[in-house]
Structure 1
């Protein structure tokens, strides 16, 4: 039976000549190995130091040979700490002092004042026309407004109330004297009833000069006309 030679080239199941390893995984493995080796070396040196196998200067007592290297390491560490403590603040102060001249130089330079921008010329705006003045509203006497319901001819010129005396004086226009006697009596009686509804028991009718034309009767009811019976 003829012998078949294996095919040339890599095995399809293993495309690389050697198994592939992740570089970061290999680095972690090497670090663990280095730490383990360092730990073994430190333990070996500590053992040899305890046994006095490490070389020491000739002036050092042989019985204290195991103390030489620990004391030397402690002295070196103390010296390094002292140098850092003494030199560190000096370096910081030096860096601060080096930055101060540059800051003073920047502050000493005068700031260039930018020219103030002049506002553009504005055209004069004509003043807005003021609204026309309105005449103040006429003050309406509320008492006259109440009495106007019983004054269809506009005979009442003004009303002067006297609440403390319970009296109401009505100044009448000449149109009242132009009325006939019965109409004047009827109008005066209506004003008396209206004034008593408003809380005034006494009513007087006066002309423009203040002369008494009529007043409420003190005995009986109604108004007593003192003027002429006819115009």
Structure 2
């Protein structure tokens, strides 16, 4: 195959928006420089892959509306800034029957956890995610046939696995079955986690987090209402 190649030919594929993650050393500056120089070369040509065959039309419209604003915040004339490129629905996306697909965007502002707070910020976010799964199971339906949603239809993506154990703890407490693609070791298991908090409280009775986790463990089984009573909240 190499013998059939012609000299002076260059073909490259890239996406400056994905280059911001620096996969395999990718740099937005390099991509943009090549893209700007090639139109001036002899026999130049550019072909943009803008058709999206994978997503339904409502999602494509949301992505374009959201990211066109997000990418316009910075100065796109700077060589390290990625530029927005609108997508066009492919034929399969246009012809697809409308189903129950929807996209909801939530912005959860972290609040300062005071001395009387029942949960810290990270636990609060994890609890919110687990609660959303329960609400989705009760209210959403999946697919064009609008069948009942199954737990296996739901995926939770985490930016990092630092607080993965918190989310898994709430999933277990809410009785939500799950499978983790990246187990966090022995402390990802509920018994080890509970034992750790109990011992932490024994060592330091002033550890409020360990105290609350111990009350929440199978050893004490304090309910949400019980927590509210302990905190002096009128239920």
TM-score between the two structures when normalised by the length of structure 1: 0.17
Structure ranking higher in strand proportion: 1
TM-score between the two structures when normalised by the length of structure 2: 0.17
